[in-house]
Amino acid sequence: MFSCLNLRRRLRGGRQGSSSASWDAMSKPKTQAPAVIHKVIMVGSGGVGKSALTLQFMYDEFVEDYEPTKADSYRKKVQLDAEEVQIDILDTAGQEDYAAIRDNYFRCGEGFLCVFSITEQESFQSTSEFREQILRVKNDENIPFLLVGNKMDLEERRQVTVEEAQARAQEWNVSYVETSAKTRANVDKVFYDLMREIRAQKVAAAKPDNDKKGKKKKSGRKCVIL
């Protein structure tokens, strides 16, 4: 679950978490080893389809009128290749205009889906700002990150070419994937690809070699749930 300052939390599709807990503490084994949790954050301008993608992934349905100002977190058990894992998704909304709230969200994320709409050039331009903010907070060029061009079903309204989006992704050394929350095209793909990136980074960080080189990142700050 994600921590957010005054975020009204609703964990849908999963268990309720206790307040004032930390993600780290929640991940600790109780009786038996729990599934690994991969923490994903949806970022992007308003109206690009972050909530629609999240709800399509979680519940297999296309929601046309999800409240635009509401940030919510979701948890789901999924089979990632041979392993059962949990995915936590924070679907951000308007509050991230406040830098402190946004930074707090981003600090807690292990991977990011940076979404724009292929029908809105401005939303594509905004992805650079989100990328910069994430890199500043996470301080890690290799943070798991996918550039997602949503609303691919609206080809006749396309304003962003595949080529320009791919060029930006290449510049950032990340993958570019087009999706449709409406038709479900590539919806699973973006979440699973991102989880694989997160998993790979956790494996790399756990290697003793990386410790010696001081590559392992320590966040130093906890993700406090209020």
Ligand X SMILES: Nc1nc2c(ncn2[C@@H]2O[C@H](COP(=O)(O)OP(=O)(O)O)[C@@H](O)[C@H]2O)c(=O)[nH]1
Binding stretches for Mg ion (CB under 5 A): 50-51, 93
* Residue 182 is a binding residue for ligand X (CB under 6 A): yes
Euclidean distance between CA atoms 37 and 17, whole angstroms? 14
Selection from ligand X, Mg ion, none that 7 binds (CB < 5 to 8 A by kind) is none
10 Å CB burial of residue 112 (0-12, 13-18, 19+) is buried
Q: Which stretch binds ligand X (CB under 6 A): 16-24, 138-146, 177-185, 211-219?
A: 177-185
| 143 CA to centre of own chain | 11
Q: How far is the CB of 139 from Mg ion (least distance, A)?
A: 27
Among residues 102, 34, 63, the alpha carbon closest in space to that of 187 is found at 63
Residues in region 4-63 near ligand X by CB under 6 A: 44, 46-52
Residue 219: which residues within 8 A CB-CB, separation 6 or more? 107
Selection from Mg ion, ligand X, none that 195 binds (CB < 5 to 8 A by kind) is none
* Residue 184 is a binding residue for ligand X (CB under 6 A): no
Termini Cα distance of the chain: 11
Q: How far is the CB of 23 from Mg ion (least distance, A)?
A: 22
Residues that bind ligand X (CB under 6 A): 44, 46-52, 64, 66, 68, 150-151, 153-154, 180-182
